[in-house]
């Protein structure tokens, strides 16, 4: 896909399709009025007849419009300006692309001046989300099908704006973010018999190719055992798939302290001996979406090459039941030396992450963010709209929250009070891996906090936002790649 920024008027552009944005009750902005005049008042006639109201998300594609160089005109309803927020704009951009991607339209032009958001977003912000959502709307997962999806005609979008430099830069960021999100979705959507821990390591090898700023280290099970990472290894010991700890260093800012991302990479989670119910277990291939989001962000960094240092860590295992699998009541020793009583083998994500969070101390991180599909309790608390956020540093939490708002990929800050820690007490080890049903998301983060005392750390629980469960939208979402991308770019 090619994105172009220009200051030419829409009526001067020869494209397959021009877009006219129509507000509530048929209100036309300046660019839409110019199109209406060139088309001999066609847009006004359609509105007057009641065939188009400008309701938010409404679309109408008109073929062969006299007076315009374009062969088609697309009307897109933006609704009331005081109701058009960031999330609705994201849906608007996706709906726009969905309305034309199945046809023979190869090039589209639009003017974002005619879209007014309640938060007063500028054209650069709108262009960034337009490019991002164009790439994600055009995504199709067909790798595992006998026939590839038909190639789409759409390959060019032109955005009209007087501030072409800012819009052009924003389009580049948005496109890279969208493509990075699609990398995350691809990895998440692959089945567990393909996307194994070793497969993730192989994808990391491909990622660092032809990128001088990136280096790769992959630890096998023997190397992890030598480091004392017995907690992470305990999760994968019942699987025939070997575990891997994958580290990609991106250096774009010399000797500055890096920002570290740690992704939970359970490539399939059966629950282990604490076996999950059979219904819906197929979705446990998505339990590596935290790791997939790290890979997606690294792809964005490779494309944009920002002046920031980042370390991406993928802790990759498969959790399966077997005669040698970890049992409820087993006690293991973490890399930090702390011992853990494993009361439930299905609370495995924290067992994987705790050793990875100890391992990354060697990088002297400026900040650490782990990303994990960690708890079903987060879905009960926040549904599928917001990512759960917990942190040992309020300033870091505030930065992540602000990044989520800027990227229209929001999170919600939950407490991490010391009073919750007592739920993890064990009679037999230093800590238990579960704290009971109350505040399950918080106690899971409390467990992780025991291993993050020496640096600024935040935890993103994406159990509710990493994938859609049913219907034609079933599959990985690519979240929170936009949030994390914005966070890292804010550190440049």
Task: Point out the residues that are catalytic.
Answer: 276, 350
Q: Strand order of the sheet with strand 59-63? A: 2-6, 156-160, 107-111, 17-23, 72-79, 59-63
- Show Cβ contacts of residue 225 under 8 Å, excluding neighbours closer than 6 positions: 233
Q: What is the DSSP string of 294-325?
A: HHHHHHHHHHH--S-EEEEEEEEEEE---TTS
Given a contact cutoff of 8 angstroms between Cβ atoms, the answer to whether 306 and 361 are in contact is no
Give the C-alpha separation, 37 to 19, whole Å: 14
Tokens of 275: 């076996």
DSSP 28: B
Q: What is the CA radius of gyration of the chain?
A: 24
Kindly give the interhelix angle for 481-489 and 164-189, rounded to the nearest 10 degrees.
Answer: 140
Q: In the numeric block, which tokens belong to residue 186?
A: 């691809």
* Residue given tokens 């639009």 in the structure block: 110
CB 334, CB 256: distance < 8 Å: no
What single-letter DSSP state applies at residue 422? G
Please give, one letter per residue, the 3-state secondary structure of 34-81. Answer: HHHHHCCCHHHHHHHCCCCCCCCCCEEEEECCCCCCCCEEEEEEEECH
CA angle 281, 283, 286 (to 5 degrees): 130
- Name the burial class of residue 13, with classes exposed (0-12), middle (13-18) and buried (19+) by CB atoms within 10 angstroms of its CB: buried
CA distance 390 to 460: 7
**Which CA distances in Å does 462 have to 71, 372, 466, 477?**
43, 6, 5, 10
Say how far apart CA 444 and CA 354 lie, in whole Å: 11
Residues 6 or more apart whose Cβ sits within 8 Å of residue 463: 372, 373, 374, 375, 376, 378, 379, 388
Distance, CA of 355 to CA of 341 (rounded, Å): 15
Q: Nearest 5°: phi and psi at 411?
A: -125, 170
CA distance 91 to 95: 6
């Amino acid at each position: 896909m090619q994105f172009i920024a220009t200051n030419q008027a829409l009526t001067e552009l020869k494209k397959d399709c021009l877009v006219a944005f129509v507000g509530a009750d048929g209100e036309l902005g300046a660019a839409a009025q110019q199109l209406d005049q060139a088309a001999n008042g066609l847009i006004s006639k359609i509105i007057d007849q009641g065939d188009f109201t400008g309701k938010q998300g409404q679309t109408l594609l008109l073929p062969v419009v006299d007076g315009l160089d374009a062969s088609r005109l697309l009307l897109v309803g933006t609704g009331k300006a005081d109701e058009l927020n960031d999330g609705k704009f994201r849906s608007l951009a996706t709906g726009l692309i969905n309305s034309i991607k199945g046809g023979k339209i190869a090039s589209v032009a639009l003017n974002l001046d005619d879209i007014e958001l309640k938060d007063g977003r500028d054209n650069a912000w709108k262009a960034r989300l337009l490019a991002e959502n164009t790439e994600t709307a055009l995504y199709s997962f067909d790798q595992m099908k006998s026939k590839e999806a038909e190639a789409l005609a759409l390959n060019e979008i032109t955005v009209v704006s007087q501030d072409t430099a800012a819009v052009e830069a924003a389009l580049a960021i948005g496109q890279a973010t969208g493509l990075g999100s699609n990398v995350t979705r691809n990895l998440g959507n692959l089945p567990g018999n393909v996307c194994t821990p070793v497969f993730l390591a192989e994808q990391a090898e491909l990622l660092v190719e032809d990128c001088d700023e990136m280096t790769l280290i992959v630890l096998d099970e023997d190397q992890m055992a030598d480091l004392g990472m017995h907690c992470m290894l305990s999760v994968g010991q019942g699987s025939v798939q070997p575990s891997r700890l994958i580290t990609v260093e991106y250096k774009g800012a010399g000797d500055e302290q890096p920002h570290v991302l740690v992704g939970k990479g359970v490539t399939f989670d059966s629950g282990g001996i604490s076996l999950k119910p059979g219904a819906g277990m197929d979705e446990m291939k998505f339990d590596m979406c935290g790791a997939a989001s790290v890979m997606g962000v690294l792809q964005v960094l490779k494309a944009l090459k920002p002046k920031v240092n980042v370390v991406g860590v993928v802790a990759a295992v498969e959790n399966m039941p077997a005669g040698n699998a970890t049992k409820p009541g087993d006690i293991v020793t973490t890399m930090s030396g702390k011992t853990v009583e494993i009361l439930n083998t299905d609370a495995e994500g924290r067992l994987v992450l705790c050793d990875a969070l100890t391992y990354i101390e060697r990088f002297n991180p400026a900040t650490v963010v782990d990303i994990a599909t960690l708890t079903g309790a987060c879905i009960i608390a926040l549904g599928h709209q917001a990512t759960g956020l917990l942190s040992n540093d309020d300033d870091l939490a505030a930065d992540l929250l602000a990044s989520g708002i800027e990227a229209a990929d929001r999170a919600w800050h939950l407490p991490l009070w010391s009073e919750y820690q007592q739920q993890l007490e064990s009679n037999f080890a230093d800590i238990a891996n579960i704290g009971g049903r109350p505040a399950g998301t918080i106690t899971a983060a409390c467990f992780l906090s025991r291993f993050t005392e020496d640096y600024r750390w935040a935890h993103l629980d994406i159990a509710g936002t990493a994938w859609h469960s049913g219907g034609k939208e079933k599959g990985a979402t690519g979240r929170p790649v936009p949030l994390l991308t914005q966070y890292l770019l804010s550190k440049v």
